[in-house]
Amino acid sequence: MTAVAIFGRVSRKDKQDYKRQITDMQNVAKRKNYEVVSIIAEKISGAKKNEERLGIQQLLSEAKAGKFQKILVTEVSRLGRNTLETLKLVEQLHEMGINIYLHDLGTDTLNEEGEMNMTTEIMLHMLSLFAKNERKTTIDRIKSGMAQAKANGTHIGRYKGTTEDKTQFLKKYQKVVDALKRGLSIRECVKVHGFSLGTVAKVRKYIKDDLELLEAA
């Protein structure tokens, strides 16, 4: 018998709850003779990053532990509305061999051989396009904000002759930290924020090598 997890989500602003989603997926599991070993639900904006969503973190943790082989969701938007984060999540689950059943499409994302079917490939391709468009929009908005800041006489960049520790450094370049965490590349950050390649690379290094320090900053 296939062990499955049921995942549900509604936005904090949504007046409804996720009980209907759970019930619908329980009915699917019953029809297909699946064993429901985990029910995970959250009330949070799907635009949040995966790291900020306790439900997603629990889902990934249980997937890594091999608790289930498939996840049942009513639609892909229940996994998230941030296309880049959703794409990353689906790819992470697929790398662990976890299949995803999308009820609105009536299909699994992986076939019996663990390979993506045509519907899944189209879905992921569309998610990639949406993510690319979102990133372009983010870059355009940041560039516009930077131009406005310069026009208002706001100083941009590091003052000469100053020394600082990692915490101070990361706080000073918080916009770069946020941009990198949103998925922008080092060169994209250089282009958008106007900082040197070395400065942005240093921020990236601190994020990678000292995550605990970054969280405390």
Would the CA dihedral through 126, 130, 136, 139 be positive or negative?
A: negative
pLDDT in tens, the chain (217 residues): 899 999 999 887 666 678 999 999 999 999 999 999 999 999 888 778 888 899 999 999 999 999 999 999 998 888 887 877 888 899 899 999 999 999 988 889 998 888 887 777 787 777 656 656 666 666 777 777 777 777 776 655 555 555 567 788 888 888 888 878 777 778 777 777 778 888 888 888 887 754 344 344 4
Residues 15 and 113 in one domain: yes
Domain tally, the chain: 2
Residues 91 and 161 in one domain: no
| Cα 56 from Cα 79, distance rounded (Å) | 8
Has residue 183 been placed in a domain?
Answer: yes
Residues 15 and 107 in one domain: yes
Has residue 23 been placed in a domain?
Answer: yes
Which residues form the domain of 69? 3-127
Has residue 84 been placed in a domain?
Answer: yes
Is the CB of residue 5 less than 8 Å from the CB of residue 39? Answer: yes
Residues 178 and 87 in one domain: no
Residues 112 and 61 in one domain: yes
Has residue 171 been placed in a domain?
Answer: yes
pTM over 0.75: no
Q: Which residues contact 38 (CB under 8 A, 6 or more apart)?
A: 5, 6, 62, 67, 68
Residues 90 and 29 in one domain: yes
How far is residue 31 CA from its own chain's centroid? Answer: 31
Is the CB of residue 89 less than 8 Å from the CB of residue 79? Answer: yes
CATH number at residue 71: 3.40.50.1390
Residue 217's pLDDT is 43
